[in-house]
Amino acid sequence: MTHAHHEVVNPATGEVIETVPATSAAEVDAAVARAAKAQEGWAAAAPADRARLLRRFAGVVDEHIEELARLEVREAGHTIGNARWEAGNVRDLLDFAAGGVERLTGRQIPVAGGLDITILEPLGVIGVIAPWNFPMPIAAWGTAPALAAGNAVLLKPAETTPLTALRLAELALEAGLPEHLFQVLPGAGDVTGNALVEHPGVAKIVFTGSTRVGKSIMATSAPLVKRVTLELGGKSPNIVFADSDLQAAAAATPMSFLDNSGQDCCARTRILVQRSVYDRFLDLLAPAIESVVVGDPADEKTQMGPLISQIQLDRVRSYVPDDLPGIRGSAPDGPGFWFAPTVLTDIAPDAPAACEEVFGPVAAVLPFDDEADAIRLANATDYGLSGSIWTRDIGRALRVSRAVAAGNLSVNSHSSVRYSTPFGGYKQSGLGRELGPDALTAFTETKNVFISTEA
């Protein structure tokens, strides 16, 4: 047994709000055994009953939206408006997954001499390793479809944000989900997380986090040929063509990289602007950046809160020396981990802030000459998660959508994530897809069965 603990800090004040015990490797082992037992019963239950229980779980989450949201404001510094959406997203994910339980159909394939069918079987015990930037939604993206497909789930939340995950596990029991089917195991990545990845009883790891850790999880999974879904980093472009509605493009730009204080893998942190409208765009963008309301995340009017931790604040600062030219908004002084909205102008395309994931409220703006130049710049990165294209020319919108190597693109919008549409990265932004119509299939094996009619 371990006596290790994690302190949970309110990022808006720097105060310790809770201490949470960490899960040792031996405790992970015991949790896997309990989960495996619970999974057998769950997989054998009638699909309609599994669906009903997941709907009930969604209903209980719905009754606790405000409580979950307030908890996320305290442990993660999310604005209250965002936190309510995030808790609602958990409910919606559970509802959507519940609808899939009775629609998880195999196929019947024409063959000679018999009947051929495919059966989609659950994998067993799934390990979900979540980051701190969207603790509730990302936990639910893995958990809800995995449970719906007949699996058990062991969720390891990030060290800094375990509280909403622990509460969700309590709500699952309140809703009547079988004991041990969904367990939350707080702890350090290299101890608790690693124990899940190395455990032969865990069939698949769904990991969201940094590209560095994602690569190490893939390597650790290789000897067991363990399945992985990886959602990693991004450096997504926001491509503004001269023929776009420039006012609308400028008005939408601040929150495209400032939402969640820029701690968003889909943040549009490379603003690519056609040279002929570059100056005009910056004139429109400056007042929009300066007027973003940064402050107490519990205040309904706040648009941007603090960064998650001192470590993250130091990391963001290291990318932005004071003498770098740019547009800067405002942020509170004093306790808490605050950084003002920042758009870096006159920055070299190969400068660290222009090509590495900062994971803070910082974007770089770069000019381009024509469509080919925009595509070249957009793709000049190892990442490929998201991107936006602003143009009134529908042909151009489609050409550029096809040419940009990224998993989630939006035209004249910055939307990335809906539970009903697939989400995931190209290149080093990830492996596999979450959400969308095929969400449950990612938690199954396909078994093909041929039945001879000749015998």
Q: Is 266 one of the catalytic residues?
A: no
**What CA–CA distance (Å, rounded) separates 326 from 342?**
7
Q: Which residues pair with 326 in a beta bridge?
A: 344
CA 265, 268, 272, 278 torsion-angle sign? negative
For residue 365, give both structure tokens: 């703006």
* Binding-site member from 2, 216, 276, 309 for ligand NAD (CB under 6 A): 216
**What CA–CA distance (Å, rounded) separates 253 from 233?**
20
Residue 213 interacts with ligand NAD (CB under 6 A): yes or no: yes
Which one, 209 or 367, has the nearer CB to ligand NAD? 209
Phi, psi dihedral angles at 108 (to 5 degrees): -120, 120
DSSP reduced 3-state for 409: strand
Q: How far is the CB of 135 from ligand NAD (least distance, A)?
A: 9
**What CA–CA distance (Å, rounded) separates 144 from 93?**
6
Pairing mode, if any, of strands 342-344 and 444-452?
A: unpaired
Which one, 254 or 425, has the nearer CB to ligand NAD? 425
The answer to whether 189 touches 213, Cβ cutoff 8 Å, is yes
Which one, 101 or 163, has the nearer CB to ligand NAD? 163
Q: How far is the CB of 304 from ligand NAD (least distance, A)?
A: 17
Residue 204 interacts with ligand NAD (CB under 6 A): yes or no: no
Q: How far is the CB of 351 from ligand NAD (least distance, A)?
A: 19
Residue 359 interacts with ligand NAD (CB under 6 A): yes or no: yes
Q: What mask of x and - would describe binding to ligand NAD in positions 390 to 429, judged by CB under 6 A?
A: -----------------------------------x---x
Residue 142 interacts with ligand NAD (CB under 6 A): yes or no: no
**What CA–CA distance (Å, rounded) separates 443 from 126?**
8
Which one, 164 or 274, has the nearer CB to ligand NAD? 164
Q: How far is the CB of 269 from ligand NAD (least distance, A)?
A: 11
**What CA–CA distance (Å, rounded) separates 187 from 419?**
28
For residue 234, give both structure tokens: 């991004």
* Binding-site member from 75, 92, 95, 357 for ligand NAD (CB under 6 A): 357
- HEC letters along 186-216: CCCHHHHHHHHHHCCCCCEEEEECCHHHHHH
Which one, 104 or 197, has the nearer CB to ligand NAD? 197
Active site residues: 231, 265
Question: What is the contact surface with ligand NAD in residues (CB under 6 A)?
Answer: 129-133, 156, 158-159, 189-190, 193-194, 197, 208-210, 213, 216-217, 231-234, 265, 357, 359, 385, 425, 429-430
